[in-house]
Chain A
Amino acid sequence: MDFMVFQYPMISVQACLDGILLGILFALIAYGMALQWGVMNIINIAQGDLVILGGYIAYFMYLYGIHPAWGVIVAPVIMYFVGIAIYKLVINKVVDRDLFISILATFGISILFMQLMNFAFGADVVLANSDYGTTMLFNNNVVLPNSKIFSAFISILFAICLVIYMKKSKLGRAIRATAQNARAAKILGVDTEKVYAATFGINAALCGVAGALISITFTIHPYMGLPYTIRSFMIVIVAGLGNLPGVAMSGMGLGVFEEFADYILGTEFRIGSVFLLLVLILIYRRFKLSRKREYLK
């Protein structure tokens, strides 16, 4: 336990700003999860591994001398096709089935990806250095790497573009129609199979963007996928499906929580506290819902 964070207010400011910038990234991943959860009713445990895969794409560009920031454009394009491949091979067989089947199947994909990435890229913790420098605030007491600001900015940009795309384009309308009622959409001539594939592809592409940004700002490692899945799941259940401002807010809240947990409990408990928070939120939700059920009596 370390309470320095309360004695020096500047550390709190630092933690808050870090957390908000981090949380915007989480919110982007959670947006992808909310999209495919809402449309296909599938919880994708491999979400975090798609993120890490996107990160490795940016990292490899960095290794070959291209600035990793271009990964933000390359990673989603590659990840879109990876997502469609996963959909065609596995997901389309579990869409209409029991939710547990889909959880287990995507868990299998997650283990597969983890190990393949471990073979392909090695088990080292890596990061793509962007050379963006840092910004000093508040009389040099708060240090913000420019890469974090850049990544938050890009995340917001992608989220806004996607929202507009979902509102205006034909495919976006088809996706929203399928989410509301897949059968009715089918009757009215929407090719739901294609919509599902596109949804999963868009989700994977979002993961790719987030992964590329994570490889610039933080570090990536083949086994670090599951925490991202859990974080996005948590953000979605706190915000509710289809509530975008809620996703953004709860993402930032989670980021701030994590930074404070990091300062107070120590870095070794950071991931543990995220998972514990998930359990606590689910329990809270269960009691809230059961109270609601009692009113009906």
Chain B
Amino acid sequence: MKNNSILYIGILIFGIAAPFVFPAFKVQLSILCVLIVLATTWNIQGGEMGYNSFGNILFYGLGMYLCASVQVGMFFPLAEWTESGGEKTFVHTPAQFFQGMAVGLLVAAVVPTIVAGLIGYSILGLRGHYFAICTLGLGVAAGEISGGIEIIGAGQGFTTPPFPDVGSLDSRGEFFYFLSFFTLVLTFIAVRSIYSTRFKLILNAIRDNEDKAEAMGIETMKYKIIGWMISAFFCGLAGGIMGGLVGYIDSTDVAFDGREMGVFMVLMAILGGKGTLWGPIIGATVFHIFKEGFWTFFLGWQYVALGVLIVVIVIYFPEGIMGWLREKYPERFGEVVDEKDRKAQVELK
């Protein structure tokens, strides 16, 4: 326990000091925070509940559009803003920008949660691959439909409000870094406290055998919907922040980007180890470093690398980093290993 608190304080200090120690990596670190949030929340229903969704991108994109629309719509007419060049006519004052951002993030988190609750009853009744394909369809449909809606920029995209002039040039990066880091801390605390309750055990029961869980008297549907809503809450929040960070929203390339973000969150959770607290965090960090390296040095080949990576991870490494560690050092995870068993295993190898 003592080790853990030292670890947490260390990470917290690193997180607060990071933008000042590595000023060049501020944007990358903010994206990393968002990626960790996405992977961790995907893990709630993908890893713990066993409902492998490709559709969490729906909440992410919804949050992104909602946050930006609210931030603009509170002060200026939205339709004129999204017409090309509108963002040059209207300028947010700092107070307007931060107010809009606060309200926007709130809406971006709450509305996807409600949406998840509403569609949850019909969609979470699907099992296995039907659920996976249905959520895949949902994500793509959302992207295609939002690309046809005129008021949020349709095909030409939506420029989010530019960061106001508050004196220092570094303040934009710092603001978004601390915003995403704060969200990450919030997510971690929330997920960690969820994982220490009975709720997590119920989710695991649903993953292991849903029919048996139902027979034991658990209202599985209720818990499935709650699990999905928690996911949606943080996905929407992450989407809202990412929209402000990127500065530009396009329906299929940024917001509902099933080919990138939608796969990334699944891949990060699997790479780190599904169904563990630290797995998605480690997975996201490793993946982000790998991705940035590849995206920088092999530009153009990144999707080829991504495709190969998915196939390799899924076929040869489905347990993830945490699963591998667990097999290697079972004592660290609180498992008691019989000395005889271990010798037998070594002999087998």
| Chain A residues near B (Cβ < 8 Å) | 43, 90, 93-94, 99-101, 103-105, 107-116, 118-119, 226, 230, 233, 237, 266, 268-269, 271-272, 275-276, 278-279, 282-283, 285-287, 290
Could you tell me if A111 and B259 are in contact, using CB atoms closer than 8 angstroms?
yes
CA of A110 to CA of B134, assembled, Å? 18
Could you tell me if A111 and B303 are in contact, using CB atoms closer than 8 angstroms?
yes
Could you tell me if A279 and B141 are in contact, using CB atoms closer than 8 angstroms?
yes
Q: Which A residues are in CB contact (< 8 Å) with B263?
A: 107, 111
User: Interface size for chain B: under 10, 10 to 19, 20 to 34, or 35 or more residues?
Assistant: 35 or more
Return 27 A-B CB contacts under 8 Å, by A number.
Answer: A90-B311, A94-B314, A99-B128, A101-B315, A105-B311, A108-B306, A108-B309, A108-B311, A108-B314, A110-B307, A111-B303, A112-B307, A112-B308, A112-B311, A113-B307, A114-B303, A230-B137, A275-B137, A275-B141, A276-B145, A279-B137, A279-B141, A282-B134, A282-B137, A283-B134, A286-B126, A287-B125
Residue of A nearest to B128 (CB): A99
Interface residues of B in 119-146 (CB under 8 A from A): 122-123, 125-126, 128-130, 132-134, 136-138, 140-141, 143-145
A287-B122 contact given A111-B310, A271-B144, CB 8 Å threshold: yes
CA of A230 to CA of B303, assembled, Å? 21
CA of A93 to CA of B315, assembled, Å? 7
User: Interface 1/0s, chain B 144-156, versus A by CB < 8 A?
Assistant: 1101100000010
CA of A119 to CA of B300, assembled, Å? 9
A112-B304 contact given A104-B314, A272-B144, CB 8 Å threshold: yes
Candidates A105, A230, A275; contact of B314 at CB < 8 Å: A105
Q: A85: shortest Cβ distance to chain B, in Å?
A: 13
Q: A257: shortest Cβ distance to chain B, in Å?
A: 14
Interface presence of B266 (CB below 8 A): yes
Interface centre among A109, A113, A269, A272 (most CB of B within 10 A): A272
Could you tell me if A105 and B315 are in contact, using CB atoms closer than 8 angstroms?
yes
Q: Which A residues are in CB contact (< 8 Å) with B128?
A: 99-100
Q: B150: shortest Cβ distance to chain A, in Å?
A: 10
Number of A-B pairs, beta carbon distance below 8 Å: 125
Interface presence of B73 (CB below 8 A): no
Candidates B52, B134, B304; contact of A100 at CB < 8 Å: B52
**Closest 8 A-B residue pairs measured CB to CB?**
A112-B307, A108-B310, A272-B144, A275-B141, A115-B303, A111-B307, A108-B311, A278-B137
A105-B310 contact given A269-B145, A279-B138, CB 8 Å threshold: yes
CA of A286 to CA of B308, assembled, Å? 34
Candidates B126, B130, B141, B148; contact of A266 at CB < 8 Å: B148
Could you tell me if B307 and A100 are in contact, using CB atoms closer than 8 angstroms?
no
Besides the known contacts A103-B52, A230-B136, 20 further A-B residue pairs in the complex with CB atoms under 8 A apart = A94-B315, A99-B128, A101-B314, A104-B314, A112-B304, A114-B303, A271-B140, A272-B145, A275-B137, A275-B144, A276-B137, A276-B141, A278-B137, A278-B141, A282-B134, A283-B122, A285-B126, A286-B123, A287-B125, A290-B125
Q: Is the interface of A mostly helix, strand, loop or mixed?
A: helix
Interface presence of B162 (CB below 8 A): no
CA of A252 to CA of B163, assembled, Å? 52
Residue of A nearest to B140 (CB): A275
Q: Which B residues are in CB contact (< 8 Å) with A269?
A: 144-145, 148
CA of A95 to CA of B222, assembled, Å? 33
Interface residues of B in 310-349 (CB under 8 A from A): 310-311, 314-315, 318
CA of A114 to CA of B260, assembled, Å? 13
Could you tell me if A104 and B310 are in contact, using CB atoms closer than 8 angstroms?
yes
CA of A107 to CA of B155, assembled, Å? 26
User: Interface 1/0s, chain B 178-193, versus A by CB < 8 A?
Assistant: 0000000000000000
Could you tell me if A90 and B145 are in contact, using CB atoms closer than 8 angstroms?
no
Residue of A nearest to B138 (CB): A279
Interface residues of B in 273-316 (CB under 8 A from A): 300-301, 303-304, 306-311, 314-315
Residue of B nearest to A271 (CB): B144
Q: B328: shortest Cβ distance to chain A, in Å?
A: 22
